[in-house]
């Protein structure tokens, strides 16, 4: 996913509904022309360990709906720090440190397989 598209995904600007043929729903201005499209089948190949995880897509889609329709989703946390900064120190000294750390670890370790 391109970084600018990934930023919108991370900020719940759009979601992918794993229960509706992996349909993409955009909740803000659709600058990339994604609304109504479906996730490429190569991204959801169950035989590929790098494929998306349906449970995570479901969670993300629910959060996107809540954040955009009801304003009740989880907060969008900044996690893009410049080179040379102390990411862990900044996270731990800020508000909701445990949740921010969990989000950071989740996003970075998503592709790591323990088996």
Domain ranges of the chain: 1-75, 77-115
- Mean pLDDT, the chain, integer: 80
How far apart, in whole angstroms, are the C-alpha atoms of residue 110 and residue 41?
Answer: 19
Check residue 24 and give its pLDDT.
93
pLDDT band at 26; cut points 50, 70, 90: very high
How far apart, in whole angstroms, are the C-alpha atoms of residue 67 and residue 73?
Answer: 4
- The contacts of residue 51 (CB under 8 Å, 6+ apart) are 43, 44, 45
Check residue 17 and give its pLDDT.
94
Longest dimension (CA), the chain: 42
């Amino acid at each position: 996913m391109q970084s600018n598209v990934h930023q919108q995904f991370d900020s719940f600007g759009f979601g992918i509904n794993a229960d509706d043929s992996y349909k993409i729903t955009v909740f803000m201005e659709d600058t990339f022309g994604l609304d109504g499209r479906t996730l490429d089948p190569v991204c959801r190949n169950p035989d590929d360990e790098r494929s998306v995880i349906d449970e995570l897509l479901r969670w993300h889609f629910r959060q996107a709906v809540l954040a955009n329709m009801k304003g009740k989703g989880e907060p969008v946390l900044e996690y893009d720090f410049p080179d040379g900064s102390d990411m862990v120190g900044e996270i731990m000294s800020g508000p909701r440190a445990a949740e921010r750390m969990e989000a950071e670890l989740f996003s970075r370790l998503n592709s790591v397989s323990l088996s």
